[in-house]
């Protein structure tokens, strides 16, 4: 006979503050400004939908997902969510205070030539903006469920999260802080305090202390942190149409529009494209696809089978997958402490050596500076070969055989690893040692040799 459940007598509120660390796109499905616009509320302000937050938490919850967030079964059976998740609204007051940007993307082949009909752009909001969300747990849920929800949210506060598109390419990265207010409704005086409390009034939360985050004790990924130094210039272009401006500018990261010192940004998509092209030279396409993911575009003539239709043997046909999710993630990299330089160029006719008519253009390039790249890789023997290939690509990056951005054929986009700044799960790898490249590749090839601090405890 199963034990009787103990039910919670407390009504609990959690306030979550999401602090955006990188650019973010939560799309609205419209194309008023770009091919993919940021989701806005009725006042034109960006926000994070409660469904997006709940989906992220449900994925984090793993085997506890159905218990915490409910599950729909057949014939009106199932259980409802024990957590009520609300939209997270920005702390900014005016649309003018939000920093909007547009990213241009184009798919390239192995020779860095643009593929036909693969040009698109999308809108993002820039970092250093906060969102406030709310999660509510009613009384009369099982105590076990309440405790699991609390543990999940503390884990979120410890590790942060990502929202929106291109999460595995460094976008939508959030730091999270957590506050909690609870009301024990088994006590008569608590009922009035609860009725007087407005969870949406930010003033009521000011005196509440932050809850400590609790990091997970297991980890199914390997993390590489790479401190980089730009050896020359870098050109990751943003195209402009302003006649007073340069024709091409390097994509910038700027915390304050009025700040004198400005940095440039290497998007995670740029890193992923460069590494994917290099890793492709080392491993079969099957292993490459398993690590980096892919999308198979189907034409109208390539219809998928109907899952409910049966073949001649009475067996139901199964749809083939059209996409594989990327298992490797790249952070964005802010290159700082460098300098901008404006260059005016003429295109030269290769046969006559003369300048071409109407071929004068200006470009802004960034020289020097330092930044950090973080790469997250999956554990597991099935990814061993792919991880080793990534290690070889990192060695190539340091030695100048792997470059990123545009104009790489004339020496742009070359990096080197700063001494003491290569770490695998926080364990330093000394690049001054002979044969450090093989050491890195061997460590990445083993899914159990290197453990992070959480696993050691």
Report whether pLDDT(365) > 50: yes
Report residue 262's pLDDT band, with 50, 70 and 90 as the boundaries. Answer: confident
pLDDT confidence of residue 451: 46
Give kind and range of the element (H or E) at residue 176. strand 173-184
Six token digits for residue 355:
């300048």
Q: For all residues of the chain together, what is the average pLDDT?
A: 82
Segment holding 440, helix H or strand E: helix 436-445
pTM of the shown model: 0.79
pLDDT band, very low/low/confident/very high, at 369 (cuts 50, 70, 90)? very high
Amino acid 456: pLDDT:
39
pLDDT digits (tens, 9 = 90+) for 145-174: 999 999 999 999 998 999 988 888 888 999
Count other Cβ atoms within 10 Å, centred on residue 20.
23
SS3 category, 383: helix
Residue pair 26/48 in contact by the 8 Å Cβ criterion: yes
Report whether pLDDT(76) > 90: no
Q: How far is it, in rounded angstroms, from Cα 152 to Cα 150?
A: 5
- Determine the pLDDT at residue 149: 93
Q: Are 219 and 455 in contact (CB under 8 A)?
A: yes
pLDDT at 408 over 60: yes
Nearest to 374 by CA among 221, 259, 231, 232: 221
pLDDT range class, residue 301, cuts 50, 70, 90? low
Complete domains list, the chain, with CATH = 10-205 (3.30.70), 221-298+318-456 (no CATH)
62: pLDDT strictly greater than 60: yes
Judge whether 37 and 166 are in contact, CB under 8 Å: no
DSSP H or E segment with residue 133: strand 130-137
* Residue among 72, 47, 196 nearest 134 (CA): 47
Q: State the residue for tokens 């910038």.
A: 252
Q: Which residues contact 272 (CB under 8 A, 6 or more apart)?
A: 168, 169, 292, 326, 328, 330
> What would you measure as the largest C-alpha separation in the chain, in angstroms?
93
How far apart are the C-alpha atoms of 93 and 152, rounded to whole Å? 31
């Amino acid at each position: 006979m199963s034990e009787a459940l103990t039910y919670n007598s407390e009504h609990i509120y959690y306030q979550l503050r999401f602090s955006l660390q990188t650019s973010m796109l939560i799309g609205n499905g419209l194309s008023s400004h770009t091919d993919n616009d940021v989701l806005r509320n009725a006042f034109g302000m960006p926000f994070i939908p409660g469904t997006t937050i709940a989906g992220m938490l449900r994925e984090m919850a793993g085997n506890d997902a159905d218990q915490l967030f409910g599950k729909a079964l057949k014939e009106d059976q199932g259980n409802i969510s024990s957590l009520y998740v609300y939209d997270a609204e920005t702390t900014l007051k005016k649309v003018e205070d939000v920093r909007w940007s547009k990213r241009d993307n184009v798919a390239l082949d192995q020779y860095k030539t643009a593929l036909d009909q693969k040009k698109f752009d999308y809108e993002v909001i820039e970092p250093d903006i906060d969102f406030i969300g709310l999660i509510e747990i009613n009384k009369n849920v099982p105590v076990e469920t309440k405790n699991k929800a609390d543990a999940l949210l503390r884990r979120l506060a410890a590790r942060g999260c990502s929202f929106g598109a291109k999460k595995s390419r460094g976008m939508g990265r959030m730091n999270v802080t957590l506050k909690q207010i609870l009301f024990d409704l088994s006590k008569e005086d608590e009922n009035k305090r609860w009725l007087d409390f407005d969870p949406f009034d930010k003033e009521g939360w000011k005196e509440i202390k932050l809850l400590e985050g609790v990091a997970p004790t297991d980890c199914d990924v390997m993390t590489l942190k790479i401190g980089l130094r730009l050896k020359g210039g870098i050109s990751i272009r943003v195209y402009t149409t302003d006649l007073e401006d340069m024709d091409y500018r390097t994509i910038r990261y700027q915390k304050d529009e009025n700040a004198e010192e400005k940095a440039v940004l290497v998007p995670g998509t740029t890193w992923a494209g460069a590494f994917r092209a290099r890793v492709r030279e080392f491993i079969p396409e099957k292993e490459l696809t398993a690590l980096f993911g892919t999308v198979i575009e189907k034409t109208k003539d390539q219809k998928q089978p109907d899952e409910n239709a049966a073949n001649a043997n009475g067996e139901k046909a199964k749809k083939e997958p059209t996409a594989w999710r990327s298992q490797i993630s790249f952070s964005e990299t802010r290159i700082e402490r460098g300098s901008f330089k404006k260059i005016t160029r003429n295109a030269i006719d290769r046969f006559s050596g003369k300048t071409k008519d109407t071929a004068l253009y200006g470009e802004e390039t960034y020289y020097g500076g330092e930044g950090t790249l973080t790469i997250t890789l999956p554990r597991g023997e099935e990814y061993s070969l792919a991880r080793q290939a990534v290690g070889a690509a990192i060695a190539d990056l340091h030695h100048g055989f792997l470059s990123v951005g545009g104009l790489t054929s004339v020496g742009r986009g070359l990096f080197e690893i700063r001494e003491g700044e290569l770490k695998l799960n926080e364990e330093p790898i000394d690049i001054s040692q002979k044969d450090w490249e093989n050491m890195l590749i061997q460590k990445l090839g083993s899914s159990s040799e290197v453990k992070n601090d959480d696993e050691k405890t």
